[in-house]
Amino acid sequence: MPIPNFHDGYFDGIWIGPNNLVYLFLRRADHQSLVLGLAGVERLTFAEIKQGNIILDLVFRGAGKITQLDIAELYGVDADSPQCVSLVNDATERQLQVLEVNPSYGAKGLALFHSWDITQREVQP
């Protein structure tokens, strides 16, 4: 399933599981609930999680598009450092991807991971 449009949708939560698995609970603007699963998560940062988080967009970057700014934020290193360049090269060689969660309000995040899948979630009233 391709990534649907989450503009003006909702970030409902995150579950960090065992074995480098992370699940993001998302709702589209039409209230369809989905779970975005990230496997092989190497680094993860989320901030400003609030009640009623509204998504501006989700941006996926493949191995060739990972930036030094991504790595700097994820690893807490200087974007211009040799260490950062080395980490970008390593992520590229290992075919890792980046997910950037941009908010209109609330949660923002960044993840460095190997693969993803998305499934519909049944919500109990």
Domain parsing of the chain, residue ranges: 10-120
pLDDT given at position 3: 86
pLDDT given at position 2: 79
Q: What is the pLDDT averaged over residues 62-89?
A: 97
pTM: 0.93
Long-range contacts of the stretch 63-71 (C-beta < 8 A, 24+): 63/91, 63/92, 63/93, 63/94, 63/95, 63/96, 63/97, 64/92, 65/98, 66/91, 66/92, 66/96, 66/97, 66/98, 66/112, 70/98, 70/100, 70/110, 70/112, 71/112
Comparison of pLDDT for 4 and 69, the residue scoring more = 69
Q: How many CA atoms lie within 13 A of 59 on its CB side?
A: 13
> Residue 37 class from Cβ within 10 Å (0-12 exposed, 13-18 middle, 19+ buried)?
middle
Tell me: the pLDDT tens digits for 9-61? 999 999 999 999 999 999 999 999 999 999 999 999 999 999 889 999 999 99
pLDDT given at position 122: 81
Q: Give, as one character, the DSSP assignment of residue 31.
A: -
